[in-house]
Structures are given as structure tokens and as C-alpha cells.
């Protein structure tokens, strides 16, 4: 039957329904079948099948009251697709931010260690400088007010 073939083609071909990829995926994994398009395939059915245009086939997926019902179902599927896409993006962004947070925490820890190492290095140089100043002070007999004394620069 040409009607069955046309409706089957619509269910298998998302381009025939003007669906976005998100809508098509949602229709495949969702609990609802793919909605039928607003236009019919009257040209493929022939004259003896023309009555199907106004009266849905008994095995038709959506025997609803008409175009408004089909439009509502199409919009619902589309909104589901948008919601799924939004959820996916939100989860991806959350993972990205968590990874960035972990990297920043590690970077802060490395910087703290570097500050600690530099403080120890500074303290070691300070002690070394004080030892040199004390030994130079005793040997030369100069005062710390003298510009030639290392203590003058501290």
C-alpha cells in the first residue's frame, strides 16, 4: 500500500519531517513516535486513497483531532530536543569548570611551595650575609655606618 510506504518513509527519514538532528535523536530514543508532517503525500496515493487526507488511517500513529494536535506534538518534541541539548551543554560546562578548578588548585599549591622555597633561600642568603658582615667587621674594624660595610646595605 502506498500510504503505508509513505508513512514508513516519514518515520525513517528525518529530513521528510523537517527535524533537526536533536529532534531526530529525541524521537528515536524517546517514548513517542515521530510525528507526521503537516503536509500529506496525496500525490503519491492516487485518487482511491484521497479519503485518508481527512480521516486518519486506523493504524496511524497519531489519530489526534488535527493539525493543531500535530503542531503541539511537533513543538513538544522540538522543546524536548532543546532541553536535552541544554542539559548536555550544562553537564559539559560543569565538567570543564571542575577540571579547571582542579588545575587552579594544583597551580596555587605549586606557587605556595615556590614561595616557601624562595623564603628559605632568602633566609639562607640573609644568614650568609650576616656572617660575612660580622667576619668583615671584626677583621676590618669598621662600623656598620660605613658605606663599605655589608651591613650598611641591609
d(CA 58, CA 108): 68
Buried b (16+ CB within 10 A) or exposed e, 125-152: eeeeeeeebeeebeeeeeeeeeeebbbe
**130 within 8 A of 123, measured Cβ to Cβ:** no
Cell 615556590 identifies what position? 114
Per-residue pLDDT reduced to its tens digit, 77-102: 999 999 999 999 999 999 999 999 99
> pTM of this prediction?
0.40
Looking at per-residue pLDDT, the higher value among 13 and 29 belongs to 29
Per-residue pLDDT reduced to its tens digit, 48-75: 544 445 555 555 555 556 888 999 999 9
Amino acid at each position: 500500500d502506498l500510504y503505508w510506504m509513505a508513512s514508513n518513509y516519514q518515520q525513517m527519514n528525518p529530513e521528510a519531517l523537517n527535524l533537526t538532528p536533536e529532534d531526530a535523536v529525541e524521537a528515536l530514543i524517546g517514548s513517542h513516535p515521530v510525528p507526521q508532517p503537516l503536509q500529506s503525500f496525496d500525490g503519491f496515493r492516487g485518487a482511491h486513497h484521497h479519503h485518508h487526507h481527512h480521516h486518519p488511517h486506523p493504524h496511524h500513529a497519531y489519530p489526534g483531532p488535527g493539525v493543531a494536535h500535530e503542531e503541539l506534538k511537533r513543538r513538544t518534541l522540538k522543546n524536548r530536543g532543546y532541553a536535552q541539548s541544554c542539559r548536555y551543554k550544562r553537564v559539559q560546562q560543569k565538567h570543564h569548570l571542575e577540571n579547571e578548578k582542579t588545575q587552579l588548585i594544583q597551580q596555587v599549591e605549586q606557587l605556595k611551595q615556590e614561595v616557601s622555597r624562595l623564603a628559605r633561600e632568602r633566609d639562607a642568603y640573609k644568614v650568609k650575609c650576616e656572617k660575612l658582615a660580622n667576619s668583615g667587621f671584626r677583621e676590618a674594624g669598621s662600623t656598620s655606618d660605613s658605606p663599605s660595610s655589608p651591613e650598611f646595605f641591609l
